[in-house]
A and B are shown apart, each in its own frame.
Chain A
């Protein structure tokens, strides 16, 4: 089945540690996105990539980094510079050529311990 796979489902981070969240898609989509979801707030865009080897900052990029070395993969690193990383992280993709319907993965819940 085609779709977006995020791993792990749950992730625990110690203070001062960098962690990487995985996002893989087999939909052959050009564009991929990372969102953060906090209770009582809407989803907020962290980073997005429209093509391999290119990515842009979203509204809340500070303390995060990404790479886009392959079309299928868009990993997100939460660095120690992110002061409040506990949240639910969602990866999405769309095919910009056919109407931009977005599809989402099942999310990764990150908790600082």
Chain B
């Protein structure tokens, strides 16, 4: 069964720093990988979707990479801002019998002003 691990579980950095969030998965047979942002008490906002045939996707200050062979994805946030403070979730779609996404537990990010 697919397992998704996100490291670190929590991260606190000063404003302006570039940072990397990590996501690893046990089964490389995936259709796509999606990064989400979740603010406290809110739903999930989709940040980036990487198809299995792609290596990376970029949106503004965000860049996500995918290496299926090693079972890893990274989310790079450039020039972090206090408004980036949130929980970031990595999720995989593997297809197969149980449809739906498999989620990691998230990285809780705090950007200090």
Residues on A lying within 8 angstroms of B by beta carbon are 4, 6, 31, 33, 35, 40-45, 48, 50, 56, 58-59, 88, 90, 92, 99-107, 109
Give min CB distance, A71 to chain B, whole Å: 17
Which residue of the partner chain, among A31, A40, A42, A92, contacts B4 with CB atoms under 8 Å? Answer: A42
Asked whether A104 lies within 8 Å of B44 as measured between CB atoms, the reply is yes
- Chain B residues near A6: list those with CB within 8 A: 43
Asked whether A99 lies within 8 Å of B32 as measured between CB atoms, the reply is yes
Asked whether B49 lies within 8 Å of A105 as measured between CB atoms, the reply is no
Q: On chain B, which size bracket covers the interface? A: 20 to 34
List residues 24-68 of chain B with CB under 8 A from any CB of chain A: 31-32, 34, 36, 41-46, 49, 51
Asked whether B98 lies within 8 Å of A45 as measured between CB atoms, the reply is yes
Instruction: Tell me if B's interface is mostly helix, strand, loop or mixed.
Output: strand
Asked whether A106 lies within 8 Å of B46 as measured between CB atoms, the reply is no
Asked whether B98 lies within 8 Å of A59 as measured between CB atoms, the reply is yes
Rounded to whole angstroms, the CA-CA distance of A88 and B44 in the bound complex is: 12
Give min CB distance, B86 to chain A, whole Å: 14
Asked whether A45 lies within 8 Å of B42 as measured between CB atoms, the reply is no
Residue of chain A at shortest CB distance from B51: A99
Residue of chain B at shortest CB distance from A106: B43
Asked whether A102 lies within 8 Å of B34 as measured between CB atoms, the reply is yes
Residues on B lying within 8 angstroms of A by beta carbon are 4, 31-32, 34, 36, 41-46, 49, 51, 89, 91, 93, 98-106
Known pairs A41-B105, A42-B106, A100-B31; A48 contacts B99 (CB<8 A): yes
Rounded to whole angstroms, the CA-CA distance of A50 and B97 in the bound complex is: 12
Rounded to whole angstroms, the CA-CA distance of A58 and B1 in the bound complex is: 13
- Chain B residues near A33: list those with CB within 8 A: 99-101
Residue of chain B at shortest CB distance from A6: B43
Rounded to whole angstroms, the CA-CA distance of A56 and B100 in the bound complex is: 11
- Chain A residues near B51: list those with CB within 8 A: 99
Rounded to whole angstroms, the CA-CA distance of A90 and B101 in the bound complex is: 13
- Chain A residues near B104: list those with CB within 8 A: 42
Known pairs A42-B106, A90-B43; A102 contacts B99 (CB<8 A): no
